[in-house]
Amino acid sequence: MSLSFPRIKSIFNHFNTSKNKNVFKLAFGTLVSQGLIVVSTPLLSRFYGPAGFGLFAFFISLTSAFAVLSSLRYENTIVLPKYESESKSLLHLSIFISSIFSIILFTIWKIFEDLLLLSDKSQTDIVLNLLQIAPYLPFSVFLYGVFQSFKIFLTRKKYFSLINRCKIEDSIFATLFSFSFLFIGPPGLILGHLLGKFFAITVLLRKKIVFFRFLFDFSYIKKLYILFMRYKKYSLLSCIAAIINVFGREIPLIVLISAYGLSDAGEFLLCNRLILIPTTLISTSIANELLSRSSSLYNKNQLKEEVTRSFKKLFSVSILLCLVILAVSPLTPFILGSDWNNVPLFMLIILPRFIGIFTVSSLSTAMAVPKKRLYDVSAHISQAFITIVFTLLPIYMNLNSVIGYSLYSLGSFCGYMSFYVFMRHTVVNYEYTKGSV
């Protein structure tokens, strides 16, 4: 059956809406940045090997564990104020807190570094790995906090083109520096990652989005303190949710790496990195766009319908993508190198986790709008508890790494589904309450 001209025009107008334009803008930058990762991975995998990627996975997990608290979650308050001047001040406050947090983290590491070197366990694998990556952690946590604060501020202002440029420069420089530091071994991936983030942030500094005059302006520092106190309750509850989230997302990975070694972790990380590219491309773009519209949808009582509709669409797409992944997985050892023979198996293992992340993670921004922070905390507790139980069970029973990572992936899926149930209940519950007042 042929499409009529009015039908074609309606389809075009649907994709020409402001909402879809914003999604496409974000997706384009993500497509380019992730494309660079796909192109460079077959070469990097041959140079660094599974153990090198495993060390990188250990570093990213530790960074993520600390980074969620680097700005005490004040970056999430950037989207809340009505006036832009207050939003920009919250951006300054988030960066200032990230700086202090990183300095404290560096000081704590220098205190405990000598103690680790002198301890009886200084030659164990976990301690040796920690000694390799810990010096980079404070800098990484600082860059993460600054980059995340900028990204939320730019999303509020709908500067999607600038977000795209940052993503692309991040990937370009991370790839180039990863190749440049091959001579230092596995830490080369870490340095490439850090320098990529650093140069992406310099793009924003050149645009003069943030000024550091508050370092020398006592009255402005006083204003930041007032904002700090005004949003401290929101920040506290967000921090609680973030800590619980860390226990559900990063701690299980750290436990798995410690239990099964760097090589299995490296193969799992690479599979996770490649398979989650559709998530980064589509789901993250939708999340940023939903974040920019969530307040208006909430005020119109349309947030519940948007979340439900998006969940159904994303779940259907994730199933189709799983079929594609299964079809191409046998080719991965030829692409990545002879050291990566277990990648097809890990790709199969990671599919439940992929479905959960792809479907639910992009919608989690809806939880930031209803002022029911205890529901948010409860959702993260449920997700973390399920994931941790599934992770610890095979380790407690001394099962092999394949079963361990399989149960972790299954637990991750169940955790994300439980989060969605809480999220939907939160939106429905609060909109009903609001409508009845």
Helices (H), 68-159: 84-118, 125-133, 137-156
Containing H/E element for 293? helix 284-299
Residues in the chain: 437
Residue 353: its pLDDT value, please?
93
Helix 373-396 to helix 232-260 angle (10° resolution) is: 10
- Report the phi/psi class of residue 263: left, alpha or beta, with left for phi > 0 and alpha for psi in -120 to 50: alpha
Q: Are 268 and 57 in contact (CB under 8 A)?
A: yes
Spatial distance between the Cα atoms of 142 and 233, rounded to a whole number of angstroms: 23
Residue 293: its pLDDT value, please?
62
- The two tokens of residue 339 are 């050291």
Residue 389: its pLDDT value, please?
94
- Report the phi/psi class of residue 400: left, alpha or beta, with left for phi > 0 and alpha for psi in -120 to 50: beta
Q: Are 414 and 262 in contact (CB under 8 A)?
A: no
Residue 296: its pLDDT value, please?
61
Residue 190: its pLDDT value, please?
93
Residue 359: its pLDDT value, please?
86
DSSP assignment letter at 369: S
Q: Are 430 and 372 in contact (CB under 8 A)?
A: yes
Q: Are 284 and 414 in contact (CB under 8 A)?
A: no
pLDDT tens-place string over residues 105-128: 999 988 887 777 766 555 567 777
Three-state SS at 341: coil
Residue 156: its pLDDT value, please?
84
Spatial distance between the Cα atoms of 266 and 51, rounded to a whole number of angstroms: 6
Spatial distance between the Cα atoms of 386 and 393, rounded to a whole number of angstroms: 11
Residue 410: its pLDDT value, please?
96
CA 366: distance to chain centroid? 16
DSSP assignment letter at 320: H
Residue 401: its pLDDT value, please?
92
pLDDT tens-place string over residues 397-408: 999 999 999 999
Residue 3: its pLDDT value, please?
45
Digitized pLDDT (tens) for each residue of the chain, 437 residues in all: 444 444 444 434 444 555 556 656 666 666 777 778 888 888 999 999 998 999 998 999 899 889 888 998 899 888 888 888 888 889 989 998 999 999 999 999 888 877 777 665 555 677 778 888 888 999 999 999 999 998 888 888 888 788 888 888 888 899 999 999 988 888 899 999 999 999 888 877 766 555 555 555 677 888 888 999 999 888 887 888 788 878 888 889 899 998 998 999 999 988 888 887 766 666 666 666 665 565 566 556 666 677 777 788 888 888 998 999 999 889 988 888 888 989 999 999 999 999 998 888 777 766 655 555 667 778 888 888 999 999 999 999 999 999 999 999 999 999 999 988 887 777 654 444 444 33
Residue 27: its pLDDT value, please?
63
Spatial distance between the Cα atoms of 23 and 21, rounded to a whole number of angstroms: 5
What predicted TM-score, i.e. pTM, was given to this entire model? 0.79
Residue 1: its pLDDT value, please?
42
Spatial distance between the Cα atoms of 280 and 35, rounded to a whole number of angstroms: 11
- Report the phi/psi class of residue 398: left, alpha or beta, with left for phi > 0 and alpha for psi in -120 to 50: left
Exposed/middle/buried for 4, CB within 10 Å: 0-12, 13-18, 19+? Answer: exposed
Three-state SS at 26: helix
